[in-house]
Structure 1
Amino acid sequence: MERMQRERETIVHMIEMYCNLEHKQEELCESCAELKEYALFRLSKCPFQEKKPACQNCKIHCYKPDMKKQVKDVMRKSGPKMIWKHPYLAIMHIVDTFREAPDLPKRTKKKA
């Protein structure tokens, strides 16, 4: 499985588990659905793509502060349970935390 696909699956499962645990719903509530869409959008825009480190090791902080706080809460509450429900994704996420962040991509200047 490629890196970005695994990252998308991991965050989706974590948000679904969080919503089920915290909001006691089978379907995603509105705020969790919004967080999921935001996280997937941010992943699609990641300049590192397949070389992406774990977000905690990244040199670029691409989440808005309020969304970052929500994702941290999701990870804190659903992360430990991932090992039982999605062991491969949980282990690979841990492995990814050892991945060093690559150098920032060079920006190209557009000519007017």
Structure 2
Amino acid sequence: MSKKLSVDEKREKEQQVVSKMIELYCRKKHKTKGEICPDCQVLKNYAELRISKCPFMETKTFCSNCKVHCYKPQMREKIREVMRFSGPRMIFYHPIMAIGHLIESNKEKKKLQEDKQNY
């Protein structure tokens, strides 16, 4: 049985996942060690800002499952690229975080499908 997270806890958790994914992407794609490159830092700051201002945090799990996409098109494409690259690799670098993310994401997708069928 999972405990229900507060909105602030959900924000923090989503920010951690996104940060780890951007850091992994930068380390592997841009060959950085330690600090991430300036472009990835801009993306990370932008993602954290969007997460911190999300009005739907109470009812959604992750941005990818949200009906409203608040990222600017260019940033949305960058974060998609990061997610496509880092998502499958997270299991090797942050396995607990990756499994938790998969479980929550699948629950949300099922819920969204059920909501669509009920209309």
TM-score (norm. length: structure 2) = 0.78
State the structure with bigger RCO (CA 8 A, min sep 6), 1 or 2.
1
Higher helix fraction (1 or 2) = 2
- 2:42 aligned residue: 34
The DSSP-based 3-state class of the residue aligned with 1:28 is: coil
Mark the runs of 5 or more structure 2 residues left unpaired by the alignment. 113-119
The Cα of 1:3 is off from its aligned counterpart by 1.9
CA distance in 2, matches of 1:33, 1:83: 23
The DSSP-based 3-state class of the residue aligned with 1:49 is: coil
Give the % identical residues: 47
- 1:22 aligned residue: 29
| Paired residues, number | 102
The DSSP-based 3-state class of the residue aligned with 1:37 is: helix
The Cα of 1:89 is off from its aligned counterpart by 1.4
- Read off the aligned partner of 1:5 and give its amino acid letter: E
Mark the runs of 5 or more structure 1 residues left unpaired by the alignment. 102-112
- Read off the aligned partner of 2:81 and give its amino acid letter: D
* 1:6-21 alignment runs, 5 A limit: 6-21=13-28
The Cα of 1:13 is off from its aligned counterpart by 0.4
TM-score (norm. length: structure 1) = 0.82
